[in-house]
């Protein structure tokens, strides 16, 4: 296998147990993967070979539960996708690429009920995340780096998505920031903080009424990183990269920071264009390799 660059190795080591012995997906979603459809901007118009239209789509379950779990299978575990050349070659064969849509299948972030808190506190597993004001969860980070890094700091940009429980329905907050370094994450439990360059919010109430729940589309569009809302996309939130040569380095999905949860609270995300097992395969020794799609 080709040697990893210093930055890729740094990001993989930072991912730690997020990659060990498990796929990016927790399990299959509630339906087949999406077919390729025209999109804007950058959407494809032809179907991609090598995907099974009957395959079950990818799901990430971040709903708090008191049920027993195996090590590495906790509801708060981090699901990491490193954007190596091999992984991107696989991603480019996904439907709708370069758009990468996700659906918020469940959003349960209402403030804790004091009585329920008293009844479950003694049995509640405590996830190692920073506790934020009640009713919110940072669940996604997308890190970008320049083509050639110099020094030890590795300059980077990060998109962080947070769902906030508003009075009139859930709100999506998109933060565009400069992290302390390319491997930094909200989940690090460190004192270093990112510099927030821009922050934009959009109410998800109208989108939440869709049968699939609110649909969010991620798109790296040359020198822009975009977040689309709706299906088809009705609204784009855009953030500028320093130039068009910057590229994605890591996508992280999980409970990164947020409110304390009672059983049944949290988020559930579906990645409708990615079938389970599409991104990583376990070699049986705890290492992960990008899955190879078979052409039909």
Specify the pLDDT at position 234: 94
- Lowest average pLDDT, out of 4-13, 98-107, 227-236, goes to 4-13
Residue 93 has pLDDT above 50, yes or no: yes
**pTM (2 decimals)?**
0.76
CA distance 175 to 157: 10
In 95-168, beta strands by DSSP E? 100-108, 130-131, 136-145, 157-166
Predicted confidence (pLDDT) per residue in 143-189, tens digit:
999 987 654 456 899 999 999 988 788 999 999 999 998 889 998 86
Residue 38 has pLDDT above 60, yes or no: no
Residue 237 has pLDDT above 90, yes or no: yes
Specify the pLDDT at position 174: 98
CA distance 200 to 214: 17
Specify the pLDDT at position 131: 52
Residue 25 has pLDDT above 90, yes or no: no
More confident residue, 152 or 265: 265
Mean pLDDT over residues 22-43, rounded?
Answer: 53
CA distance 188 to 54: 38
More confident residue, 120 or 218: 218
Specify the pLDDT at position 280: 56
Specify the pLDDT at position 30: 56
What is the per-residue DSSP string for 71-116?
Answer: TT--TT--EEEE--HHHHHHHTTSTTTT-EEEEEEEEE-PPPPHHH
**Structure tokens, 36:** 């390729």
CA distance 160 to 141: 5
- Lowest average pLDDT, out of 4-8, 29-33, 189-193, goes to 4-8
Q: Are strands 224-229 and 215-221 parallel, antiparallel or unpaired?
A: antiparallel
Which residue, 252, 257, 200, is CA-closest to 226?
200
Residue 140 has pLDDT above 90, yes or no: yes
Mean pLDDT of the chain: 74
């Amino acid at each position: 296998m080709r040697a990893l660059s210093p930055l890729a190795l740094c990001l993989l080591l930072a991912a730690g147990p997020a990659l060990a012995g498990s796929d990016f997906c927790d399990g299959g979603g509630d339906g087949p993967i999406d077919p390729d459809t025209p999109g804007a901007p950058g959407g494809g118009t032809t179907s991609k070979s090598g995907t099974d239209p009957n395959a079950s789509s990818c799901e990430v379950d971040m709903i708090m539960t008191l049920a027993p779990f195996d090590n590495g299978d906790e509801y708060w575990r981090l699901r990491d996708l490193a954007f190596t050349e091999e992984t991107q070659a696989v991603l480019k064969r996904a439907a709708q690429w370069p758009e990468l849509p996700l659906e918020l299948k469940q959003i349960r972030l209402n403030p804790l009920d004091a009585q329920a808190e008293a009844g479950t506190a003694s049995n509640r597993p405590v996830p190692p995340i920073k506790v934020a004001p009640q009713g919110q969860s940072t669940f996604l980070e997308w890190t970008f780096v320049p083509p050639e890094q110099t020094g030890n700091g590795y300059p980077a940009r990060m998109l962080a998505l947070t769902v906030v429980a508003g009075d009139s329905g859930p709100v999506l907050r998109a933060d565009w920031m400069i992290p302390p370094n390319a491997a930094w994450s909200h989940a690090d439990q460190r004192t270093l903080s990112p510099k927030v360059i821009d922050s934009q919010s959009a109410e998800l109430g109208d989108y939440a009424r869709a049968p699939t729940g609110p649909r969010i589309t991620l798109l790296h569009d040359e020198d822009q990183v975009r977040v689309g809302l709706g299906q088809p996309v009705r609204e784009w939130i855009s953030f500028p990269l320093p130039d068009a040569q910057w590229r994605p380095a890591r996508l992280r999905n999980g409970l990164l920071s947020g409110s304390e949860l009672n059983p049944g609270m949290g988020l559930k995300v579906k990645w409708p264009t990615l079938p389970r097992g599409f991104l990583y395969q376990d070699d049986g020794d705890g290492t992960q390799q990008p899955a190879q799609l078979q052409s039909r």
